[in-house]
Structure 1
């Protein structure tokens, strides 16, 4: 395919992937800051669990709805330049969240954050599909998924320390400023990638209406939504659950949540390497990744249920580690499957639509969880619902997806 760099060791490719992994890390630091700040922020702003869930959900209104359009733009324009503009927008939205004085302002800033972050995965998918050979995309996507998991891990560790010492507002100030710094090295890498592809013929992407007629895209979107539910549930609610329901002090919450996300990050690399090894041994790439997703969803059911049922600290730690282990697989495989089905020419548009459908879990899930907690006074029902959604995800990956896009 024109414009694709075939050599796995090409020095232009892996620095690009490393910076993409870093910005995904920063993305989830910024996205998850509201969960880290929740134990103090919710009380400071006078938000019930349902209203807090609404504020969290607002991010996904723009994040989900705009991704198909942004994905189509990334297929036709420079994905590297588009990503730069998006990062600047979401970093500023994060920084100004530290000034929020009520629900309305918080929702508005979450909408801007979602708009900026909407460009991340379509642009990342386009750049990986265009520059990384298929037999190395497991590793490339695992690096992205590692950033996805390390973001909550490092964000929780750093944010928890800031929260305990300085309150919730500085969490957003520091996180937003750190993301703006990323733009400096990306400006250098982006120019190198543009020079590497300058003058090469590029096959035009499919019209969006043709993409939307492909059943495989809609099925992948549903699978993505089911895979997302457990991940978002843990990312958004774990700090608040550990402090409010388990009665843990903020420093202990920080350690346990960081441990969970750290396990997810390490597991992402392992799952990606396993997928690449199985493909090199002759496994059909789509089948390999689907089967790993089935294993991961079933493991997530066990982990999420274990967190709710664990009695002591040791049992809670074990359940959290199991949850992180299996959640680490899903982002790696889900995005790799989207890239496989789409091909390099349509990767951004496809992943934009797929991720938009996947964002339904982010729109609905926080509100559902908040409503269950307010209605019952407990997280038990919310944990049961999250486990049930993960079980449905296992069934979808096992029987609901085609081997290739149709």
Structure 2
């Protein structure tokens, strides 16, 4: 006979899993951003052009974006906790082996493997949060995970910068990859009690049923705008600051670490605030859509400011502005997805949204590399990133429909 967990026990389980997922995402972004951190040394040693470097950055998303559809589907049907463990092991291996690359071809192959492994993170996290966290704590749970989007680059840039200065760029990948392998042990310990949980036949929501929702495609387009500037800055800022603005690696490390820390703390504060406002009666759907629209619009202004800034002080100001402006964007995409899809279809919904959204990681890096090689300047790339964010703000304000749960009564029979 099944027993019901107490609310306090359920809340504790949700909190523990949320923290574990946040640490998982932190490592995800430490490893994903390692290429950008190592770029000043790697690009020179491997004799990569800006376009070649852009191809290496883009290769991650070639497989990551389409894999989101498959991972989302798997998350709704099989044990999501085991799926995360398998993905974690694969991306740790890919990161470790990147320390031995000898040219663009091997670098691209390992970036593809990294994309497959890291593809589990966000569909799986949304599936778990939708199932284990109450709606009253949806904002802080998603912002805790989303803050790892920024704590990860902060830690990665700080540690990676020190490693690169003292041990070289290859040691960055070796140390980061081995550290990710170590995290596999605590993840197994935290998730092991839930390994018998999986989708059961009556609860399955076919992917084609989710794909019939216009809102999921509208959100995917909105998420493309949301990720474009984020990936642009994540991939190209270290190279831009060192090679174009003349910052020493140590100065670049301190500046970007500070920016990402401010962004992470802002994400947590805005997640907490959004839950408080919802508790006081503010409509959650309107609030989260409004935060997305405002955040993207302000991010677009900030990105343009970074590109046009003429000295380090102004670059720092606009980077901090961008960090605060975009802090809530990472969490609200997934919170809104969970509101639309519910726990039964959250994995599939986020898979589609993330699959479309991360196509920016395919297009953006190669476009930026071509622009830099053709013009010798990053300015036009900043113009494009800023414009995409500004248009994204308008899209979230006017193109995303009212947030309400999709009807799933006929899902199993569809």
**TM-score normalized by the length of structure 2:** 0.94
What is the CA distance between 1:357 and its match in structure 2?
0.3
Q: Conserved in 2, the CA contact under 8 Å of 1:7 and 1:133?
A: no
| Inter-partner Cα distance in structure 2 for 1:7 and 1:143 | 19
| Inter-partner Cα distance in structure 2 for 1:255 and 1:321 | 13
| Structure 2 gap segments, 5+ residues each | 407-414
What is the CA distance between 1:3 and its match in structure 2?
9.2
Residue in 2 that maps onto 1:234:
233
Q: Secondary structure of 1:343's partner?
A: helix
Written as runs of structure 1 = structure 2, the 5 A alignment for 1:202-351 is 204-351=203-350
Residues 230-250 of structure 1 show CA distances to partners (whole Å, capped at 9, x for unaligned) of: 111111111001001101110
Residues 15-48 of structure 1 show CA distances to partners (whole Å, capped at 9, x for unaligned) of: 1111100010000000000000001101111110
| Inter-partner Cα distance in structure 1 for 2:224 and 2:250 | 32
CA separation of 1:318/1:202 partners in 2, compared to 1, >3 Å: closer, same or farther? farther
Q: Secondary structure of 1:98's partner?
A: helix
CA separation of 1:184/1:284 partners in 2, compared to 1, >3 Å: closer, same or farther? same
| Inter-partner Cα distance in structure 1 for 2:228 and 2:4 | 35
What is the CA distance between 1:187 and its match in structure 2?
1.1
CA separation of 1:260/1:173 partners in 2, compared to 1, >3 Å: closer, same or farther? same
Residues 137-178 of structure 1 show CA distances to partners (whole Å, capped at 9, x for unaligned) of: 100001001111100000000000111111110000000011
Over the residues paired in the alignment, what is the CA RMSD in angstroms? 1.8
Q: Conserved in 1, the CA contact under 8 Å of 2:10 and 2:132?
A: no
| Inter-partner Cα distance in structure 1 for 2:401 and 2:235 | 31
Residue in 1 that maps onto 2:373:
374
Residues 245-300 of structure 1 show CA distances to partners (whole Å, capped at 9, x for unaligned) of: 10111000101111111111111101211211221111222111000011111210
| Inter-partner Cα distance in structure 1 for 2:37 and 2:189 | 32
Q: Conserved in 2, the CA contact under 8 Å of 1:49 and 1:370?
A: yes
Residue in 2 that maps onto 1:50:
51
| Structure 1 gap segments, 5+ residues each | none
Residue in 1 that maps onto 2:410:
none
| Inter-partner Cα distance in structure 1 for 2:301 and 2:9 | 37
Q: Conserved in 2, the CA contact under 8 Å of 1:3 and 1:201?
A: no
Residues 51-86 of structure 1 show CA distances to partners (whole Å, capped at 9, x for unaligned) of: 110111010011011111111111111111100000
Q: Conserved in 2, the CA contact under 8 Å of 1:6 and 1:131?
A: no
Q: Secondary structure of 1:12's partner?
A: helix
Q: Secondary structure of 2:100's partner?
A: coil
What is the CA distance between 1:11 and its match in structure 2?
2.0
Which deviates further from its counterpart, 300-309 or 89-98?
300-309
| Inter-partner Cα distance in structure 1 for 2:5 and 2:121 | 20
Residue in 1 that maps onto 2:412:
none
Structure 2 residue 158 is matched with structure 1 residue 157:
yes
| Inter-partner Cα distance in structure 1 for 2:14 and 2:71 | 23
| Inter-partner Cα distance in structure 2 for 1:146 and 1:344 | 22
Residue in 1 that maps onto 2:129:
128
Q: Secondary structure of 1:11's partner?
A: helix
Residue in 1 that maps onto 2:78:
77
Q: Conserved in 1, the CA contact under 8 Å of 2:40 and 2:242?
A: yes
Which deviates further from its counterpart, 385-394 or 303-312?
303-312
Which deviates further from its counterpart, 161-170 or 304-313?
304-313
Which deviates further from its counterpart, 109-118 or 2-11?
2-11
| Inter-partner Cα distance in structure 2 for 1:237 and 1:132 | 36
Structure 2 residue 23 is matched with structure 1 residue 38:
no
Q: Secondary structure of 2:44's partner?
A: helix
Residue in 2 that maps onto 1:104:
105
Structure 2 residue 54 is matched with structure 1 residue 62:
no
Q: Conserved in 2, the CA contact under 8 Å of 1:149 and 1:264?
A: yes
| Inter-partner Cα distance in structure 1 for 2:120 and 2:34 | 19
Which deviates further from its counterpart, 284-293 or 105-114?
284-293
Residue in 2 that maps onto 1:18:
19
Residue in 2 that maps onto 1:173:
174
What is the CA distance between 1:9 and its match in structure 2?
7.0
Between the two proteins, the alignment pairs up a number of residues equal to: 403
| Inter-partner Cα distance in structure 1 for 2:64 and 2:282 | 34
Q: Conserved in 2, the CA contact under 8 Å of 1:125 and 1:348?
A: yes
Q: Conserved in 1, the CA contact under 8 Å of 2:38 and 2:160?
A: yes
CA separation of 1:337/1:4 partners in 2, compared to 1, >3 Å: closer, same or farther? farther
Residues 189-223 of structure 1 show CA distances to partners (whole Å, capped at 9, x for unaligned) of: 1123347x69x988522111111111111001111
